[in-house]
Amino acid sequence: MLRKTVVRKNRYLDSVFLMRVARRIAAQPGIQDASALMATEANRKVLLGMGYGEDGRDAEFAAAGANDLVLAIEGEATAVAAIAADLDTWLSMASGASTEPAQEPRSIAEAVARRPDCSMAVISVPGEHAAREARAALKEGLHVFLFSSNVSVEDERSLKLEARDRGLLVMGPDCGTAFIGGAGIGFANAVRRGPIGIVGPSGTGLQEFSSLVHQAGSGISNGIGTGSRDLSDAIGGISTLMGIDALEADPATKAIAVLSKPPGKKTTARLLDRLRLCSKPVILCLLGAEPGSIEIPNPGSTSKGPGHLWPTATIDEAVCLALGTAGVSEPEQLRPDPASMRAQAAAILGELRPEQRHIRGLFAGGTLCYQTQTSFLGSGLIAHSNAPIHGMLQLPDPWESRENTFVDLGAGLFVEGRPHPMIDASLRKKRLEQEGADPTVAVILLDFILGAISSENPVGDLLETIRTAQASAERRGGHLCVVASVCGTDGDSQNLQAQVRALTEIGVLVFPSNAQAAAFCREAMTLLAERKEVG
């Protein structure tokens, strides 16, 4: 295998664009891996850690700076050489642009001058430049969807305070998904408009919630992403509280769902005080909250005034309550049968070898990793994670699983300088190979996220690796139980039904939501623990 870098001086392209370039190159025959990114100091460190330029002989890479584009390729020598020699064609192919670069706006002010009817700026630039561009957008009177990560806490708070003073909203930084005025932004699914509003920092949580609402026949009025740190005490929920205000004032919104991991203690109090005064029904889903840490007076009140607030433990529960407020019946697919799950799990576990006793969850969606941990902890089952909730164990080395492990592969460590696993499955594929080779693994849990900028074929990216893992277990005389959920709708370009069918055809157990997939795995691991005790 050969590792090679190619540098283009003073060539800036945004991170989403570069993710797509890397994904297409990585899919070529003979290419093992590819990263396309700006040569910032942080990104250079990531590439050095991956083995690129580590011997110091790559002078071009060593001299690259933050304004330079770098492509890092690993694969067979002839394939790597062919890509490197034709990089500009690959960049052109990935763009699909119909205008010359010189004709494109070179600043937010110039873009606003050309399109004065626009009300929002979508910003996806390296973190060190993101705050500057966001401020420029605010000065032009634009709301901001800030996809960029690696923005300092100080800059985030400053931006959000300035936006609030201007009557504008900053969604982000590190905001993956939003639904505004019927338009999906970022990792958004194709969902119809309807009476239910969402607000919160959970990107895949917004996707899962909105997709399940759509599948039940209802729709989303607006979905406001806030950025992963908004409900921390350092930020204080500035965008979340503004989002709740906006949804409460929106005549088309009949119910509001707030989805998040647990907020900071001070921010929790501020959030609950605001929700108690909301004139519309509010469904609150704080995944991973410590038992008893969220005190809600009069939960589920049937009054139409303030205090009409329901706490829920899963996204499925939140969806069902939200649908009820909209007069939509709870869908059958969100009514799991625990007894049936347990019986199905028992039948599968009978095919396992005695040493198979662990579960490994490899998640593209961080929210779904949190939800799975919550499900397990509620039954007294402990696991390791690189993003543990209270009561779970910190994984010492995020790159190595131990015993029961749930890994959020979209966490900063894994995506810094690399495409997100929802776009490029290369890293998850390698981890799946590793887990499949472990003779102690009984169950592997996966999530597949469809949407606007996700992989064109999320299931197809991992299908062959799943087959290989299953075959390895069979050669050892055992069976590997692979469980999955697919988040998406019938309107997504990836074709939801085709994705589900491809999994079921190779024996993967597919559930209609992550909460149900996690519940099945919980039943299976409970049975395994009981069997071990009896043995």
pLDDT tens digits, 344-382? 999 998 899 999 999 999 999 999 999 999 999 989 999
Residue 270, domain member (yes or no):
yes
**Mean pLDDT, to the nearest integer, of 247-272?**
93
β-pairing verdict for 183-186 and 177-180: antiparallel
Residue 103, domain member (yes or no):
no
pLDDT at 257 over 80: yes
Both 416 and 501 in one domain: the answer is yes
Which of 202, 205, 197, 201 lies closest to 236, judged by CA?
A: 201
User: What are the strands of the beta sheet with 183-186, ordered from one edge?
Assistant: 183-186, 177-180, 220-225, 196-200, 255-260, 282-286, 309-312
Both 439 and 466 in one domain: the answer is yes
Residue 101, domain member (yes or no):
no
Q: Which of 58-72, 97-111, 201-215, 334-348 comes out lowest in average pLDDT?
A: 97-111
Which of 129, 159, 154 lies closest to 142, judged by CA?
A: 159
Residue 100, domain member (yes or no):
no
pLDDT digits (tens, 9 = 90+) for 384-406: 999 999 899 999 999 999 999 99
pLDDT digits (tens, 9 = 90+) for 270-307: 999 999 999 999 999 998 776 556 665 554 444 444 44
3-class DSSP state of 259: strand
Percent of the chain with pLDDT over 70: 92
Both 360 and 329 in one domain: the answer is no
- Of 277, 307, 333, the last residue of a domain is 333
Confidence of residue 328 (pLDDT cuts 50, 70, 90): confident
- Say which amino acid occupies 212: L
Residue 319, domain member (yes or no):
yes
Cβ–Cβ under 8 Å, residues 5 and 44: no
- Indicate the average pLDDT of the chain: 88
The parent domain of residue 23 ranges over: 2-95
Cβ–Cβ under 8 Å, residues 421 and 427: yes
What distance in Å separates the CA atoms of residue 178 and residue 181, rounded to the nearest whole number?
A: 10
Residue 351, domain member (yes or no):
yes
Both 287 and 327 in one domain: the answer is yes
Q: How many domains, the chain? A: 3
3-class DSSP state of 340: helix
Both 329 and 409 in one domain: the answer is no
CATH at 456: 3.40.50.261
What distance in Å separates the CA atoms of residue 237 and residue 243, rounded to the nearest whole number?
A: 10
3-class DSSP state of 144: strand
Both 401 and 259 in one domain: the answer is no
Both 156 and 218 in one domain: the answer is yes
What distance in Å separates the CA atoms of residue 262 and residue 288, rounded to the nearest whole number?
A: 6
What distance in Å separates the CA atoms of residue 322 and residue 197, rounded to the nearest whole number?
A: 9
Confidence of residue 431 (pLDDT cuts 50, 70, 90): very high
Distance, C-alpha 164 to centroid of its chain: 27
Specify the DSSP class assigned to residue 102: G
Distance, C-alpha 64 to centroid of its chain: 31
Residue 102, domain member (yes or no):
no
- Of 281, 310, 333, the last residue of a domain is 333
Both 166 and 248 in one domain: the answer is yes
Both 375 and 419 in one domain: the answer is yes
Residue 293, domain member (yes or no):
yes
β-pairing verdict for 143-146 and 120-123: parallel
Both 475 and 494 in one domain: the answer is yes
Maximum Cα–Cα distance across the chain: 73
Whole-structure pTM value: 0.85
- Of 290, 305, 333, the last residue of a domain is 333
Specify the DSSP class assigned to residue 362: E
Compute the chain's Rg from CA coordinates. 23
Both 292 and 342 in one domain: the answer is no
Both 415 and 512 in one domain: the answer is yes
